[in-house]
Amino acid sequence: MSRLLQNRTVQILLGIIVVGLLLYFLGVKMTQGELRAFISAAPEPLFCMSGQPAGTTCAIPFTNSLLMTLVVDVILIAIGLSLARMQLIPRGFQNIVEMAVEGFYNFAQGIDRNNVKKFFPVPATIFFFFLIANLVALIPGIGSIGLCETTEGGHAKVASIATMLQSAPVAQADAGGSSIFTGLPGFCGAGHRLIPFLRAPAADLNVTFAFALVAVFMVELFGIQALGANYFTRFFNFKEGGLGVFVGLIELVSEVSRIVSFAFRIFGNIFGGEVILAVMAFLFPYILPLPFYGFEVFVAMIQAFIFAVLTLVFMSNATVDPHGGHPEHGSAELEPELHGAH
């Protein structure tokens, strides 16, 4: 027992638990009384780029997720520029980046060995953008620091989940939390809601939908490049009678539904993760969110990976002749060589 207490990790964990319990019983609760942590389903405009006054509907809003996307872009470009002069023997930071790129490249080689050089930029861009975006979005303060704005009737569409939690019976029964933080700029009083400066890009359906459109467009483009007009025979197949037409129709529908499933998969995971963290922080602050936070880190990485890998698989699928023209990479879609990766 005493040896266990000397362990540094155990000490840190115990410290977190003790401090959390202390704060909890002191009444410092994130979602109590005047304190609110906001999550809204849609991104909020920070200011209007088309010059209209605030309050009316804005044609081109500059949203907080757009700002975050620009921040992530700057991070990615800075990583790229910092490696402008590559060294033959990698050291330090270059090692990490090379490991990430090479690891993903080797995995992509396992999926489609012939076309990986041509395909690689698109899935790699998606992977690294969403990897950085999702991980940066988990830094505390990203969705919780912002300006307060008065809630009006016009904002009823952008209902915030925290206000719903506020009116939940539990919150009312347990009223009377301390208001230590209400004086701080990050917290808004009643009748106000927080407009955070930054919002996870993947928690904005516009961003994920744009990425899904680009990904599916590139899939079609590579398919047409590889097969020419022959590519469209998989959708409009009149040679094999009624069944061929029907199968082609199904292919067409599944092609369109890919956009939706791409967009909603990553949006749902990241946005759902934010909601889960907020709800858990409401149920039992400081301690209960910890395991979910770890799970969100895992989800952030795996969802970026899934988006990229599915794009790659669809691309390699689209370049294969539907009626069996290229036997050399006809069936090698999800059968990588065992010693290729790892």
Residue 320 in 3-state DSSP? coil
Contact, 237 vs 244, CB < 8 A?
A: yes
Query: Does residue number 292 form part of the binding site for another protein (CB under 8 A)?
Result: no
User: How far is it, in rounded angstroms, from Cα 144 to Cα 228?
Assistant: 50
Query: Does residue number 338 form part of the binding site for another protein (CB under 8 A)?
Result: yes
Beta strands, E only, 131-251: 146-150, 192-196
Residue with smaller CB distance to another protein, 272 or 291: 272
Q: Which of 148, 221, 252, 275 binds another protein (CB under 8 A)?
A: 275
Residues 298-337 that bind another protein (CB under 8 A): 299, 302-303, 305-306, 309, 334, 336
Query: Does residue number 214 form part of the binding site for another protein (CB under 8 A)?
Result: no
Site map 17..56 versus another protein, x via CB under 8 A: ------------------------x---------------
Residue 242 burial (C-beta neighbours within 10 Å; 0-12, 13-18, 19+): exposed
User: How far is it, in rounded angstroms, from Cα 272 to Cα 280?
Assistant: 12
Q: Which of 159, 210, 290, 332 binds another protein (CB under 8 A)?
A: 159
Residue 250 in 3-state DSSP? helix
User: How far is it, in rounded angstroms, from Cα 217 to Cα 315?
Assistant: 10
Least CB distance from residue 340 to another protein, whole Å? 8
Sorted by sequence, the CB contacts under 8 Å of residue 212 that are 6+ apart come out as: 258, 259, 260, 262, 263
Query: Does residue number 269 form part of the binding site for another protein (CB under 8 A)?
Result: yes
Contact, 143 vs 186, CB < 8 A?
A: no
Query: In this structure, are strands 146-150 and 45-48 parallel, antiparallel, or unpaired?
Result: unpaired
Q: Which of 15, 55, 185, 272 binds another protein (CB under 8 A)?
A: 272
Closest residue by Cα to residue 319 from 220, 253, 212, 207: 220
Question: Which of these segments, 6-14, 93-101, 142-150, 265-273, binds another protein (CB under 8 A)?
Answer: 265-273
Residues 218-247 that bind another protein (CB under 8 A): none
Query: Does residue number 101 form part of the binding site for another protein (CB under 8 A)?
Result: no
Query: Does residue number 99 form part of the binding site for another protein (CB under 8 A)?
Result: no
Beta bridge pairs of residue 146: 196
Least CB distance from residue 278 to another protein, whole Å? 10
Query: Does residue number 265 form part of the binding site for another protein (CB under 8 A)?
Result: yes
Q: Which of 145, 164, 180, 249 binds another protein (CB under 8 A)?
A: 164
Question: Which of these segments, 157-165, 207-215, 220-228, 248-256, binds another protein (CB under 8 A)?
Answer: 157-165
What's the distance, Cα to Cα, between the start and end of the chain in Å?
39
- Which tokens belong to 281? 């922080």
Site map 169..208 versus another protein, x via CB under 8 A: ----------------------------------------
Q: For the chain, what is the total number of helices (H) and then of strands (E)?
A: 11, 4
- Per CB under 8 A, residues contacting another protein are 41, 107, 110, 157, 159, 161, 164, 264-265, 267-269, 271-272, 275-276, 299, 302-303, 305-306, 309, 334, 336, 338, 341-342
